[in-house]
Amino acid sequence: MVSDPLKAVCENSLERKWIWVSVLLAAVAVVLLGFYSVAGNINPPSNVETIDSSRLHLSKEFAEDNLGVKTGPDGSVRVTLVAARYGFYPERIEVPSDTPVTFRMASADVLHGVHAPYTNLATMIVPGYISEVTTNFPKPGEYTMMCNEFCGLGHDHMWSRLIVVPKDAWGKQP
């Protein structure tokens, strides 16, 4: 029989049993988290790109006229968003289903977050940085994008609409 390595630190066999139970529970939690993050394609954004939040309106990409949804020549979809107290601009965006959509987001003031329940779009929008997330919306429908970092008294009212249009109807709507 293999001797218990915990014997060196703990003499009581009942205590050792409970230590093993807690170690096992922690291991199960790590395996489950790993499984769900891989299966659900959940990962932190990997880019680091800085921007001067106080001069967003003067930047090319985040100037008011350049915000919104744009389709590239290869069919890729890019969404440029500004998060500012208290809203996401533009306040309503439409994207196609089942298509990779790249969000580029910047805050004009304080820390915000964006979370669209029932999708895997969720990230922080840290002032001074551009948050870039590429995701895919398999199910057409109307979603809510909410701010999920407390940003002030209007935090609860900071949300906007995300409309996922069926892929085959994309670009054909009036």
Q: Which residues bind ligand CUA (CB under 6 A)?
A: 112, 147, 149-151, 155, 158
User: Rounded to the nearest whole angstrom, what is the least distance from the CB of residue 33 to ligand CUA in the complex?
Assistant: 26
Please say which residue, 141 or 152, places its beta carbon nearer to ligand CUA: 152
User: Rounded to the nearest whole angstrom, what is the least distance from the CB of residue 130 to ligand CUA in the complex?
Assistant: 17
Please say which residue, 79 or 114, places its beta carbon nearer to ligand CUA: 114
CB 70 within 8 A of CB 77: yes
- What are the residues facing 142 on neighbouring strands? 163
- What are the residues facing 165 on neighbouring strands? 96
Here the tokens at position 165 are 């249009």
**Residue 133 and residue 100: Cα distance in Å, rounded?**
10
User: Rounded to the nearest whole angstrom, what is the least distance from the CB of residue 145 to ligand CUA in the complex?
Assistant: 11
CB 92 within 8 A of CB 74: no
Please say which residue, 106 or 151, places its beta carbon nearer to ligand CUA: 151
Please say which residue, 94 or 149, places its beta carbon nearer to ligand CUA: 149
Nearest to 69 by CA among 98, 103, 100: 103
User: Rounded to the nearest whole angstrom, what is the least distance from the CB of residue 151 to ligand CUA in the complex?
Assistant: 3
State the DSSP string of 8-64. GT---HHHHHHHHHHHHHHHHHHHHHHHHHHHTT--------B--GGGGGGSSTTSG
User: Rounded to the nearest whole angstrom, what is the least distance from the CB of residue 89 to ligand CUA in the complex?
Assistant: 12
Please say which residue, 19 or 111, places its beta carbon nearer to ligand CUA: 111
